[in-house]
C-alpha cells in the first residue's frame, strides 16, 4: 500500500500522466464489395486485441484486402491477403485474450491465429454460426480464439459472403471465394 501511494505521489509531483485504456465500445464499418458490416469492438473485454485491430485500421492496412477463407455455417476470414493473394506484412503478434468471457457465437468477430495461441496479428474472422469449440477452455491446448467484438449491423452481408461459391484460390486448395470478396476499407465511425 505504501509503495502504491509513493508511486502515485511521484506521478503527481513529476507531472507524468498515465493514459487510461478506453473501456467504452468502439464502432467500425467494414466496407466490402458485398455491402457494409458494422462492428462494435469491446475494449473492456479485449483491450490489447482491440488496440491492435484499431492500429491496423488507422494505418489503412485492411484497405483492399480480401476475405480469403469462407466456410458457410462456420466463419468468414480476412484481413491478411491482398487481391493478388500476397500475404501482407504485419506487426508483432498480440497476447491471446480468449479468456475474457466472450464466446464465439454467430456475429462475433475474433482473431485468427496459427497453432501458437499468441500468434494473432491482423487476420480476423466473423462467426457465421455459434462455434463453442473455438472458445477458451484452459491455457493449454484449449486456449481458444479471442472474441473482441460483435456485428451490430449488416449480418445479412456476412450471410451473403458466407454463401459465395468457394474452391481453390491463390495458395489455398479450398475455401477461397471464386468471386473475390474485397474489404474496401475499415473505418472508425465513432471516436
E-strand spans in the chain?
26-32, 35-41, 65-71, 75-82, 108-111, 124-127, 147-153, 166-169, 172-177, 182-188
What pLDDT, on a 0 to 100 scale, did the predictor assign at position 10?
A: 36
What pLDDT, on a 0 to 100 scale, did the predictor assign at position 4?
A: 36
What pLDDT, on a 0 to 100 scale, did the predictor assign at position 142?
A: 81
Q: Which of 76, 70, 1 is nearest to 37 (CA)?
A: 76
What pLDDT, on a 0 to 100 scale, did the predictor assign at position 51?
A: 98
What pLDDT, on a 0 to 100 scale, did the predictor assign at position 8?
A: 34
d(CA 124, CA 90): 13
Cell of 171: 495458395
Q: Domains of the chain, with CATH numbers?
A: 21-188 (2.40.100.10)
Q: pLDDT tens string for the chain (191 positions)?
A: 333 333 333 333 334 333 345 589 999 999 999 999 999 999 999 999 999 999 999 999 999 999 999 999 999 999 999 999 999 999 999 999 999 999 999 999 999 999 999 999 999 999 999 999 999 998 766 899 999 999 999 999 999 999 999 999 999 999 999 999 999 999 999 65
Amino acid at each position: 500500500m505504501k509503495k502504491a501511494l509513493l508511486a502515485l505521489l511521484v506521478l503527481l509531483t513529476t507531472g507524468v500522466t498515465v493514459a487510461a485504456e478506453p473501456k467504452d465500445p468502439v464502432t467500425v464499418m467494414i466496407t466490402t464489395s458485398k455491402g457494409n458490416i458494422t462492428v462494435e469492438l469491446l475494449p473492456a473485454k479485449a483491450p490489447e486485441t482491440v488496440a491492435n485491430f484499431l492500429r491496423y485500421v488507422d494505418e489503412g492496412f485492411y484497405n483492399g484486402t480480401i476475405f480469403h477463407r469462407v466456410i458457410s455455417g462456420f466463419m468468414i476470414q480476412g484481413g491478411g491477403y491482398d487481391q493478388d493473394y500476397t500475404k501482407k506484412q504485419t506487426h508483432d503478434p498480440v497476447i491471446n485474450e480468449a479468456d475474457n468471457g466472450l464466446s464465439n457465437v454467430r456475429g462475433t468477430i475474433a482473431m485468427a491465429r496459427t497453432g501458437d495461441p499468441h500468434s494473432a496479428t491482423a487476420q480476423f474472422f466473423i462467426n457465421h454460426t455459434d462455434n463453442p469449440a473455438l472458445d477458451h477452455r484452459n491455457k493449454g491446448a484449449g486456449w481458444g480464439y479471442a472474441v473482441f467484438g460483435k456485428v451490430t449491423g449488416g449480418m445479412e452481408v456476412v450471410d451473403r459472403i458466407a454463401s459465395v461459391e468457394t474452391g481453390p484460390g491463390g495458395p489455398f486448395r479450398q475455401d477461397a471465394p471464386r468471386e473475390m470478396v474485397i474489404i474496401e476499407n475499415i473505418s472508425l465511425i465513432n471516436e
